Amino acid sequence: MQTTDDNRPLAGVKVVEFGQFIAGPGATQILADLGADVIKIESPNGDNGRRFGVNAASKGRSGMFIAYNRGKRSIALDLRCAQGVAVARKLALGADVVVQNTRVGVMASIGLDAATLRQEKPALIYASISGFGTAGPSRQRPGLDIAAQAESGMMSLTGEAGGAPLKTGFAVVDAATATATANAILAALFRHARTGQGETIETSLLTVAIALQAQIWAEYGCSNQLPQRAGNAQPLVAPAADLIEVKDGYIVLSAYMEDHWKRLCEAIGQPELATDARFASSNQRVQHRPALMTILHDAFGSLAGEAVRAKLEAFGVVVGVVRDYAQVQASEDVRACGIFQSVADGLGGEVQVPGLPFSLADTIPGAQMARVPGLGEQGDEILRQAGYDDAQLQVLIDAGVVVRPASPRQTSAAREPAKPTAAQV
Protein backbone atom coordinates (compact mmCIF):
# COMPACT_ATOMS: atom_id res chain seq x y z
CA MET A 1 0.00 0.00 0.00
CA GLN A 2 1.32 3.39 -0.98
CA THR A 3 1.90 6.19 1.50
CA THR A 4 0.00 9.39 0.77
CA ASP A 5 -0.94 12.72 2.30
CA ASP A 6 -4.60 11.90 1.65
CA ASN A 7 -6.29 11.31 5.02
CA ARG A 8 -9.16 9.18 3.71
CA PRO A 9 -9.31 5.67 5.22
CA LEU A 10 -8.29 3.78 2.06
CA ALA A 11 -5.91 6.35 0.59
CA GLY A 12 -2.92 4.51 -0.87
CA VAL A 13 -4.88 1.30 -1.47
CA LYS A 14 -4.92 0.24 -5.12
CA VAL A 15 -7.88 -1.76 -6.42
CA VAL A 16 -8.25 -3.42 -9.82
CA GLU A 17 -11.80 -4.16 -10.91
CA PHE A 18 -13.02 -6.57 -13.58
CA GLY A 19 -16.68 -5.71 -13.17
CA GLN A 20 -19.93 -4.94 -14.93
CA PHE A 21 -23.40 -3.76 -13.99
CA ILE A 22 -23.83 -3.34 -10.18
CA ALA A 23 -22.44 -5.96 -7.78
CA GLY A 24 -18.73 -5.69 -8.64
CA PRO A 25 -18.65 -1.99 -9.55
CA GLY A 26 -20.82 -1.20 -6.53
CA ALA A 27 -18.32 -2.85 -4.19
CA THR A 28 -15.38 -0.95 -5.62
CA GLN A 29 -17.43 2.26 -5.63
CA ILE A 30 -17.60 2.04 -1.84
CA LEU A 31 -13.82 1.54 -1.74
CA ALA A 32 -13.29 4.50 -4.08
CA ASP A 33 -15.49 6.72 -1.92
CA LEU A 34 -13.29 5.74 1.03
CA GLY A 35 -10.18 6.87 -0.85
CA ALA A 36 -8.95 3.83 -2.78
CA ASP A 37 -7.51 4.22 -6.28
CA VAL A 38 -9.81 2.02 -8.37
CA ILE A 39 -8.61 0.96 -11.82
CA LYS A 40 -11.53 -0.33 -13.87
CA ILE A 41 -10.44 -2.80 -16.55
CA GLU A 42 -13.03 -2.86 -19.33
CA SER A 43 -13.35 -4.63 -22.65
CA PRO A 44 -13.07 -2.51 -25.83
CA ASN A 45 -16.87 -2.27 -25.70
CA GLY A 46 -16.92 -1.26 -22.06
CA ASP A 47 -18.89 -2.26 -19.00
CA ASN A 48 -22.37 -3.27 -20.15
CA GLY A 49 -23.66 -0.88 -17.51
CA ARG A 50 -22.56 2.00 -19.77
CA ARG A 51 -25.45 1.11 -22.08
CA PHE A 52 -28.10 0.30 -19.50
CA GLY A 53 -31.15 2.58 -19.76
CA VAL A 54 -29.52 4.92 -22.26
CA ASN A 55 -32.25 6.69 -24.24
CA ALA A 56 -33.54 10.13 -25.13
CA ALA A 57 -34.95 10.68 -21.65
CA SER A 58 -31.59 9.95 -20.06
CA LYS A 59 -29.83 12.34 -22.48
CA GLY A 60 -27.41 9.61 -23.49
CA ARG A 61 -26.35 8.87 -19.92
CA SER A 62 -26.54 5.60 -18.00
CA GLY A 63 -27.83 6.10 -14.48
CA MET A 64 -26.45 2.69 -13.52
CA PHE A 65 -22.94 3.57 -14.67
CA ILE A 66 -22.99 6.99 -13.02
CA ALA A 67 -24.21 5.51 -9.73
CA TYR A 68 -21.45 2.92 -9.41
CA ASN A 69 -18.37 4.21 -11.25
CA ARG A 70 -17.66 7.76 -10.11
CA GLY A 71 -14.09 8.64 -9.30
CA LYS A 72 -12.58 5.52 -10.90
CA ARG A 73 -9.98 5.30 -13.66
CA SER A 74 -10.74 3.29 -16.80
CA ILE A 75 -8.50 1.30 -19.11
CA ALA A 76 -9.88 -0.65 -22.08
CA LEU A 77 -8.04 -3.94 -22.71
CA ASP A 78 -8.72 -6.75 -25.15
CA LEU A 79 -8.50 -9.84 -22.94
CA ARG A 80 -9.09 -12.14 -25.91
CA CYS A 81 -5.40 -11.89 -26.75
CA ALA A 82 -2.35 -12.95 -24.72
CA GLN A 83 -0.89 -9.44 -24.68
CA GLY A 84 -4.05 -8.02 -23.17
CA VAL A 85 -4.10 -10.70 -20.48
CA ALA A 86 -0.43 -10.00 -19.72
CA VAL A 87 -1.18 -6.32 -19.18
CA ALA A 88 -4.14 -7.14 -16.98
CA ARG A 89 -2.02 -9.56 -14.96
CA LYS A 90 0.62 -6.90 -14.36
CA LEU A 91 -1.99 -4.42 -13.21
CA ALA A 92 -3.65 -6.99 -10.93
CA LEU A 93 -0.35 -8.04 -9.35
CA GLY A 94 0.46 -4.37 -8.76
CA ALA A 95 -2.75 -3.92 -6.77
CA ASP A 96 -3.69 -4.57 -3.17
CA VAL A 97 -7.20 -5.76 -4.06
CA VAL A 98 -8.76 -7.40 -7.12
CA VAL A 99 -12.55 -7.56 -7.52
CA GLN A 100 -14.32 -9.49 -10.27
CA ASN A 101 -17.88 -10.53 -11.06
CA THR A 102 -17.40 -12.42 -14.30
CA ARG A 103 -19.08 -15.75 -14.83
CA VAL A 104 -17.52 -18.64 -12.90
CA GLY A 105 -14.54 -20.09 -14.75
CA VAL A 106 -13.86 -17.13 -17.03
CA MET A 107 -11.00 -15.67 -15.00
CA ALA A 108 -9.44 -19.09 -14.47
CA SER A 109 -9.50 -19.73 -18.21
CA ILE A 110 -7.17 -16.77 -18.76
CA GLY A 111 -5.05 -17.17 -15.64
CA LEU A 112 -6.48 -14.20 -13.75
CA ASP A 113 -8.24 -16.17 -11.00
CA ALA A 114 -7.51 -15.94 -7.29
CA ALA A 115 -5.47 -19.15 -7.07
CA THR A 116 -3.17 -18.20 -9.93
CA LEU A 117 -2.58 -14.59 -8.91
CA ARG A 118 -2.24 -15.31 -5.19
CA GLN A 119 0.31 -18.04 -5.89
CA GLU A 120 2.48 -15.30 -7.36
CA LYS A 121 1.43 -12.66 -4.80
CA PRO A 122 0.16 -14.25 -1.55
CA ALA A 123 -0.56 -10.84 0.01
CA LEU A 124 -3.18 -10.08 -2.64
CA ILE A 125 -6.81 -9.71 -1.55
CA TYR A 126 -9.00 -11.21 -4.28
CA ALA A 127 -12.81 -10.96 -4.17
CA SER A 128 -15.09 -12.91 -6.51
CA ILE A 129 -18.84 -12.45 -6.94
CA SER A 130 -20.93 -15.09 -8.66
CA GLY A 131 -24.61 -15.63 -9.24
CA PHE A 132 -25.10 -18.95 -7.45
CA GLY A 133 -21.76 -19.78 -5.85
CA THR A 134 -18.87 -21.87 -7.14
CA ALA A 135 -19.58 -25.28 -5.58
CA GLY A 136 -23.14 -26.22 -6.57
CA PRO A 137 -24.66 -27.46 -9.82
CA SER A 138 -25.73 -23.92 -10.78
CA ARG A 139 -22.20 -22.52 -10.65
CA GLN A 140 -22.04 -22.08 -14.43
CA ARG A 141 -25.44 -20.41 -14.70
CA PRO A 142 -25.55 -16.70 -15.49
CA GLY A 143 -27.11 -14.88 -12.57
CA LEU A 144 -28.70 -11.50 -12.19
CA ASP A 145 -30.48 -9.78 -9.31
CA ILE A 146 -33.92 -10.97 -10.38
CA ALA A 147 -32.85 -14.63 -10.48
CA ALA A 148 -31.47 -14.35 -6.94
CA GLN A 149 -34.68 -12.71 -5.74
CA ALA A 150 -36.64 -15.58 -7.24
CA GLU A 151 -34.51 -18.49 -6.03
CA SER A 152 -33.76 -17.16 -2.52
CA GLY A 153 -37.42 -17.12 -1.49
CA MET A 154 -37.57 -13.34 -1.54
CA MET A 155 -40.22 -13.09 -4.27
CA SER A 156 -42.32 -15.82 -2.65
CA LEU A 157 -43.15 -13.50 0.25
CA THR A 158 -43.30 -10.21 -1.68
CA GLY A 159 -46.69 -9.12 -3.03
CA GLU A 160 -50.32 -8.92 -2.04
CA ALA A 161 -52.03 -11.76 -0.22
CA GLY A 162 -53.40 -14.15 -2.83
CA GLY A 163 -51.58 -12.31 -5.61
CA ALA A 164 -48.59 -13.16 -7.76
CA PRO A 165 -45.01 -12.98 -6.45
CA LEU A 166 -43.34 -9.59 -6.96
CA LYS A 167 -39.77 -8.36 -7.18
CA THR A 168 -38.61 -5.32 -5.28
CA GLY A 169 -38.71 -1.93 -7.00
CA PHE A 170 -34.93 -1.83 -7.42
CA ALA A 171 -31.99 -4.26 -7.67
CA VAL A 172 -31.81 -4.84 -3.92
CA VAL A 173 -29.72 -8.02 -4.13
CA ASP A 174 -27.11 -6.45 -6.41
CA ALA A 175 -26.81 -3.45 -4.11
CA ALA A 176 -26.64 -5.58 -0.97
CA THR A 177 -24.01 -7.83 -2.58
CA ALA A 178 -21.89 -4.79 -3.34
CA THR A 179 -22.05 -3.75 0.32
CA ALA A 180 -21.35 -7.27 1.59
CA THR A 181 -18.34 -7.59 -0.70
CA ALA A 182 -16.96 -4.22 0.36
CA ASN A 183 -17.36 -5.23 4.03
CA ALA A 184 -15.42 -8.45 3.41
CA ILE A 185 -12.66 -6.54 1.63
CA LEU A 186 -12.41 -4.03 4.49
CA ALA A 187 -12.06 -6.90 6.96
CA ALA A 188 -9.35 -8.46 4.79
CA LEU A 189 -7.53 -5.14 4.52
CA PHE A 190 -7.58 -4.81 8.31
CA ARG A 191 -6.14 -8.31 8.66
CA HIS A 192 -3.54 -7.49 6.02
CA ALA A 193 -2.50 -4.41 7.97
CA ARG A 194 -1.93 -6.62 11.05
CA THR A 195 -0.36 -9.67 9.44
CA GLY A 196 0.61 -8.82 5.87
CA GLN A 197 -1.45 -11.76 4.65
CA GLY A 198 -3.86 -11.71 1.72
CA GLU A 199 -7.27 -13.31 1.38
CA THR A 200 -9.55 -15.05 -1.11
CA ILE A 201 -13.13 -13.80 -0.78
CA GLU A 202 -16.16 -15.39 -2.40
CA THR A 203 -19.79 -14.37 -2.25
CA SER A 204 -22.83 -14.74 -4.47
CA LEU A 205 -26.08 -13.03 -5.21
CA LEU A 206 -27.93 -16.10 -3.92
CA THR A 207 -26.22 -16.20 -0.52
CA VAL A 208 -26.64 -12.47 0.02
CA ALA A 209 -30.33 -12.64 -0.93
CA ILE A 210 -30.87 -15.42 1.60
CA ALA A 211 -28.92 -13.58 4.31
CA LEU A 212 -31.07 -10.48 3.85
CA GLN A 213 -34.06 -12.52 5.00
CA ALA A 214 -32.49 -13.76 8.25
CA GLN A 215 -35.47 -12.84 10.43
CA ILE A 216 -37.97 -14.56 8.12
CA TRP A 217 -35.79 -17.68 7.98
CA ALA A 218 -35.68 -17.72 11.78
CA GLU A 219 -39.45 -17.35 11.97
CA TYR A 220 -39.82 -20.21 9.48
CA GLY A 221 -37.51 -22.33 11.65
CA CYS A 222 -39.59 -21.54 14.74
CA SER A 223 -42.99 -22.25 13.19
CA ASN A 224 -42.16 -24.65 10.32
CA GLN A 225 -44.80 -22.74 8.35
CA LEU A 226 -43.98 -21.23 4.96
CA PRO A 227 -44.16 -17.42 5.02
CA GLN A 228 -47.03 -16.01 2.99
CA ARG A 229 -47.40 -12.84 0.97
CA ALA A 230 -49.16 -10.19 3.01
CA GLY A 231 -48.70 -6.99 1.00
CA ASN A 232 -47.59 -4.06 3.10
CA ALA A 233 -48.84 -5.55 6.36
CA GLN A 234 -46.68 -7.49 8.78
CA PRO A 235 -48.30 -10.94 8.95
CA LEU A 236 -47.55 -11.54 12.65
CA VAL A 237 -48.31 -8.15 14.27
CA ALA A 238 -50.69 -5.24 13.73
CA PRO A 239 -50.83 -2.43 12.98
CA ALA A 240 -47.33 -2.64 11.49
CA ALA A 241 -46.23 -1.32 8.09
CA ASP A 242 -49.89 -0.97 7.19
CA LEU A 243 -50.62 1.37 4.27
CA ILE A 244 -53.33 3.95 4.79
CA GLU A 245 -54.65 6.26 2.09
CA VAL A 246 -54.85 9.92 3.08
CA LYS A 247 -56.01 13.06 1.31
CA ASP A 248 -52.87 13.56 -0.78
CA GLY A 249 -51.34 10.10 -0.94
CA TYR A 250 -50.42 7.40 1.56
CA ILE A 251 -48.85 6.91 4.95
CA VAL A 252 -47.54 3.86 6.75
CA LEU A 253 -47.63 3.45 10.51
CA SER A 254 -46.42 1.02 13.11
CA ALA A 255 -48.07 0.69 16.52
CA TYR A 256 -48.13 -3.00 17.36
CA MET A 257 -46.47 -2.70 20.78
CA GLU A 258 -49.19 -2.40 23.39
CA ASP A 259 -48.17 1.01 24.70
CA HIS A 260 -47.85 2.29 21.10
CA TRP A 261 -51.30 0.89 20.28
CA LYS A 262 -52.79 2.79 23.22
CA ARG A 263 -51.12 6.00 22.00
CA LEU A 264 -52.56 5.48 18.52
CA CYS A 265 -56.05 5.05 19.98
CA GLU A 266 -55.62 8.31 21.88
CA ALA A 267 -54.28 10.08 18.79
CA ILE A 268 -57.43 9.29 16.79
CA GLY A 269 -59.67 10.24 19.72
CA GLN A 270 -60.87 6.70 20.38
CA PRO A 271 -59.06 5.53 23.56
CA GLU A 272 -61.76 2.90 24.12
CA LEU A 273 -60.37 0.87 21.19
CA ALA A 274 -57.43 -0.10 23.37
CA THR A 275 -59.74 -2.34 25.41
CA ASP A 276 -62.02 -3.41 22.56
CA ALA A 277 -62.13 -7.21 22.55
CA ARG A 278 -61.28 -7.26 18.83
CA PHE A 279 -58.06 -5.30 19.36
CA ALA A 280 -56.98 -6.15 22.90
CA SER A 281 -53.77 -7.88 21.76
CA SER A 282 -51.58 -7.93 18.68
CA ASN A 283 -52.82 -11.42 17.75
CA GLN A 284 -56.42 -10.21 17.91
CA ARG A 285 -55.57 -7.13 15.86
CA VAL A 286 -54.03 -9.37 13.21
CA GLN A 287 -57.20 -11.48 13.21
CA HIS A 288 -59.42 -8.40 12.86
CA ARG A 289 -57.08 -6.37 10.64
CA PRO A 290 -59.78 -5.44 8.03
CA ALA A 291 -61.95 -3.82 10.72
CA LEU A 292 -58.92 -2.09 12.19
CA MET A 293 -57.91 -0.71 8.79
CA THR A 294 -61.40 0.64 8.21
CA ILE A 295 -61.22 2.57 11.48
CA LEU A 296 -57.81 4.02 10.64
CA HIS A 297 -58.86 4.97 7.10
CA ASP A 298 -61.89 6.79 8.50
CA ALA A 299 -59.68 8.60 11.02
CA PHE A 300 -57.04 9.79 8.54
CA GLY A 301 -58.62 9.78 5.06
CA SER A 302 -59.60 13.46 5.10
CA LEU A 303 -56.17 14.68 6.27
CA ALA A 304 -52.99 15.40 4.32
CA GLY A 305 -50.03 13.11 4.92
CA GLU A 306 -47.92 15.73 6.71
CA ALA A 307 -50.82 16.59 8.99
CA VAL A 308 -51.23 12.92 9.91
CA ARG A 309 -47.51 12.62 10.54
CA ALA A 310 -47.50 15.63 12.87
CA LYS A 311 -50.57 14.36 14.72
CA LEU A 312 -49.23 10.85 15.29
CA GLU A 313 -45.72 11.96 16.19
CA ALA A 314 -47.22 14.19 18.89
CA PHE A 315 -48.36 10.93 20.52
CA GLY A 316 -45.10 9.09 19.90
CA VAL A 317 -46.46 6.84 17.15
CA VAL A 318 -44.07 5.74 14.36
CA VAL A 319 -45.33 6.99 10.99
CA GLY A 320 -43.93 7.63 7.54
CA VAL A 321 -45.28 9.60 4.59
CA VAL A 322 -44.91 7.68 1.31
CA ARG A 323 -42.87 10.02 -0.89
CA ASP A 324 -41.80 9.92 -4.51
CA TYR A 325 -38.23 10.70 -5.57
CA ALA A 326 -38.86 14.40 -6.13
CA GLN A 327 -40.38 14.71 -2.67
CA VAL A 328 -37.48 12.79 -1.13
CA GLN A 329 -34.91 15.16 -2.62
CA ALA A 330 -36.95 18.16 -1.40
CA SER A 331 -37.15 16.78 2.15
CA GLU A 332 -35.40 18.96 4.73
CA ASP A 333 -34.27 15.82 6.59
CA VAL A 334 -32.68 14.41 3.45
CA ARG A 335 -31.00 17.71 2.64
CA ALA A 336 -29.67 17.95 6.17
CA CYS A 337 -28.08 14.49 6.12
CA GLY A 338 -26.17 15.27 2.92
CA ILE A 339 -26.59 11.87 1.32
CA PHE A 340 -26.78 13.24 -2.24
CA GLN A 341 -23.70 14.40 -4.11
CA SER A 342 -23.15 15.80 -7.57
CA VAL A 343 -21.39 13.61 -10.09
CA ALA A 344 -20.05 14.94 -13.37
CA ASP A 345 -21.55 12.81 -16.14
CA GLY A 346 -18.66 13.20 -18.58
CA LEU A 347 -20.90 15.15 -20.98
CA GLY A 348 -20.70 18.53 -19.30
CA GLY A 349 -23.60 17.96 -16.95
CA GLU A 350 -24.15 16.79 -13.39
CA VAL A 351 -26.34 14.14 -11.80
CA GLN A 352 -27.34 13.91 -8.14
CA VAL A 353 -26.70 10.44 -6.71
CA PRO A 354 -26.51 9.04 -3.18
CA GLY A 355 -23.01 8.80 -1.73
CA LEU A 356 -21.83 6.92 1.33
CA PRO A 357 -24.69 6.44 3.82
CA PHE A 358 -22.46 7.45 6.73
CA SER A 359 -20.04 10.24 7.56
CA LEU A 360 -16.45 10.16 8.80
CA ALA A 361 -16.00 13.64 10.19
CA ASP A 362 -12.23 13.45 10.70
CA THR A 363 -11.26 11.80 7.41
CA ILE A 364 -13.97 12.65 4.88
CA PRO A 365 -15.12 16.11 5.98
CA GLY A 366 -17.06 16.92 2.83
CA ALA A 367 -17.97 15.33 -0.47
CA GLN A 368 -16.06 16.60 -3.48
CA MET A 369 -17.27 16.51 -7.06
CA ALA A 370 -16.41 13.19 -8.70
CA ARG A 371 -17.06 12.15 -12.28
CA VAL A 372 -17.42 8.96 -14.25
CA PRO A 373 -14.55 7.97 -16.52
CA GLY A 374 -14.85 7.70 -20.26
CA LEU A 375 -14.12 4.24 -21.66
CA GLY A 376 -10.33 3.79 -21.53
CA GLU A 377 -9.86 7.44 -20.64
CA GLN A 378 -6.98 6.92 -18.22
CA GLY A 379 -5.37 4.00 -20.06
CA ASP A 380 -2.12 5.77 -20.94
CA GLU A 381 -1.75 7.13 -17.41
CA ILE A 382 -2.42 3.74 -15.81
CA LEU A 383 0.09 1.93 -18.02
CA ARG A 384 2.82 4.53 -17.51
CA GLN A 385 2.36 4.21 -13.76
CA ALA A 386 2.65 0.44 -14.15
CA GLY A 387 6.06 0.87 -15.79
CA TYR A 388 5.30 0.91 -19.53
CA ASP A 389 7.30 3.45 -21.52
CA ASP A 390 6.02 5.33 -24.56
CA ALA A 391 7.40 2.81 -27.05
CA GLN A 392 5.85 -0.15 -25.24
CA LEU A 393 2.57 1.72 -24.95
CA GLN A 394 2.54 2.43 -28.67
CA VAL A 395 3.11 -1.24 -29.45
CA LEU A 396 0.07 -2.16 -27.36
CA ILE A 397 -2.04 0.51 -29.02
CA ASP A 398 -0.96 -0.51 -32.53
CA ALA A 399 -1.81 -4.14 -31.76
CA GLY A 400 -5.27 -3.16 -30.54
CA VAL A 401 -4.53 -4.49 -27.05
CA VAL A 402 -5.16 -1.11 -25.44
CA VAL A 403 -8.05 0.86 -26.85
CA ARG A 404 -7.99 4.61 -26.61
CA PRO A 405 -11.28 6.54 -26.42
CA ALA A 406 -12.43 8.46 -29.46
CA SER A 407 -12.40 11.58 -27.28
CA PRO A 408 -11.41 12.32 -23.68
CA ARG A 409 -15.06 12.06 -22.64
CA GLN A 410 -16.28 9.18 -24.78
CA THR A 411 -19.92 8.55 -23.99
CA SER A 412 -21.60 5.31 -23.11
CA ALA A 413 -23.42 5.37 -26.43
CA ALA A 414 -20.28 5.74 -28.56
CA ARG A 415 -19.93 2.03 -29.24
CA GLU A 416 -22.47 -0.51 -30.36
CA PRO A 417 -22.90 -3.50 -28.03
CA ALA A 418 -20.68 -6.43 -28.94
CA LYS A 419 -19.93 -9.81 -27.49
CA PRO A 420 -18.20 -9.08 -24.16
CA THR A 421 -14.82 -10.47 -23.29
CA ALA A 422 -16.15 -12.17 -20.16
CA ALA A 423 -19.74 -12.90 -19.28
CA GLN A 424 -21.19 -10.85 -16.45
CA VAL A 425 -22.71 -12.51 -13.39
Could you tell me the domains of the chain?
Answer: 14-213+341-403 (3.40.50.10540), 242-322 (3.30.1540.10)
Query: What is the CB neighbour count within 10 angstroms for residue 36?
Result: 27
pLDDT score for 67: 97
The pLDDT of residue 423 is above 50: no
Higher pLDDT, 167 or 421: 167
Phi, psi at residue 407, to the nearest 5°? -150, 165
Quote the CA–CA distance of 194 and 187 in Å, as a whole number.
11
Confidence check: pLDDT of 280 > 70: yes
pLDDT at 406: 67
Mean pLDDT for 380-401 is 96
**Average pLDDT along the chain:** 93
* Whole-number pLDDT of residue 356: 94
What value does the mean pLDDT take over residues 329-333?
96
Mean pLDDT across 36-43: 98
User: Are 402 and 79 spatial neighbours (Cβ–Cβ below 8 Å)?
Assistant: no
On the CB side of 49, CA atoms within 13 Å amount to: 28
Angle between helices 258-267 and 305-313 (to 10 degrees): 120
Strands 249-254, 240-246: parallel, antiparallel or unpaired by DSSP?
Answer: antiparallel
pLDDT tens-digit profile of 83-98?
Answer: 999 999 999 999 999 9
pLDDT band at 6 (very low <50, low <70, confident <90, very high): confident
User: CB 280: neighbour CB atoms within 10 A?
Assistant: 14
Alpha-carbon distance of 365 to 336, in angstroms, equals 15
Supply the pLDDT for residue 366.
63
**Percent of the chain's residues with pLDDT above 70:** 94
Reported residue count of the chain is 425
Q: Tell me the catalytic residues.
A: 174
Instruction: Using the predicted structure, report yes or no on whether residue 414 has a pLDDT greater than 50.
Output: no
pLDDT for residue 405: 82
